[in-house]
Structure 1
Amino acid sequence: MRWTSLLAIYVLFWAFSVFLVLPFGVRTSAEAGEAHMPGSAESAPHEFSLKRVIVRTTIVATALFALFVANYEFGWITAQSLDVMDVVNAVD
């Protein structure tokens, strides 16, 4: 696989991983023991650390991407293994 394809796939894994990582470690003002700020939702995070989210996202995306590349190289799961409606090779 070309390096440009690998880079594009990694970017997709990274963008997907943001949504996996974002909900973890979030504490509201009530959970942090602070007063609620008027005008914000009660479920809004008390503190948001972009650096922490980027680091966690990069770790998760790199692990998932490594599994993807290993599967691509070794062929653990193929399209044929996922085909539950194997019409061509079906036995009557």
Structure 2
Amino acid sequence: MLTTVLSYAALYFVLWWLCLFAVIPFSLRTQEEDGAVTLGTVASAPKGHHMRRAALRTTIVSGLIFAAYLGITQGLGYSIDDIPRIVPNYVYGDG
């Protein structure tokens, strides 16, 4: 039981970290878009940080993905081992 909980926690952490880098660029406002470029910085630098919003969005997105994963694995009973049975076996050529 503890192994399962730790495995799910590790999976959620990796998923959360991956989603973080996908969510960070959304709603990013650059200094150039704002019209006030600070001297000595690049115009494409962010105007301000928005990590609290990005962390909240990441938590929501990764929570939804993780819930879908749990629904598929626990509810429907599928696992990684079932993928070859889900994907049809195509025969190429004369077969």
What are the Cα deviations for residues 27-79 of structure 1, in whole angstroms up to 9, with x where unaligned?
A: 1112123x211222221111112211110110111011111111212128832
Runs ≥4 residues deviating over 6 A: none
Aligned equivalents of 1:27 and 1:38: distance in 2?
17
* Structure 1 gaps, min length 5: none
Aligned equivalents of 1:47 and 1:84: distance in 2?
51
| Percent of residue pairs identical | 31
Q: How many Å apart are 1:83 and its aligned residue? A: 6.7
CA RMSD of aligned residues (A): 2.6
Asked if 1:79 is matched to 2:92, the reply is no
* Structure 2 gaps, min length 5: none
Which has more helix, going by share of residues?
A: 2
Amino acid at match of 1:54: A
Q: Which residue of structure 2 lines up, in the alignment, with residue 36 of structure 1?
A: 37
Aligned equivalents of 1:83 and 1:40: distance in 2?
54
Q: Which residue of structure 2 lines up, in the alignment, with residue 6 of structure 1?
A: 8
Q: Which residue of structure 1 lines up, in the alignment, with residue 57 of structure 2?
A: 56
Q: How many Å apart are 1:3 and its aligned residue? A: 0.7
Aligned equivalents of 1:83 and 1:12: distance in 2?
30
Aligned pairs, number? 87
TM-score (ref. length: structure 2) = 0.76
Q: Which residue of structure 2 lines up, in the alignment, with residue 27 of structure 1?
A: 29
Aligned equivalents of 2:55 and 2:43: distance in 1?
25
Q: How many Å apart are 1:22 and its aligned residue? A: 0.6
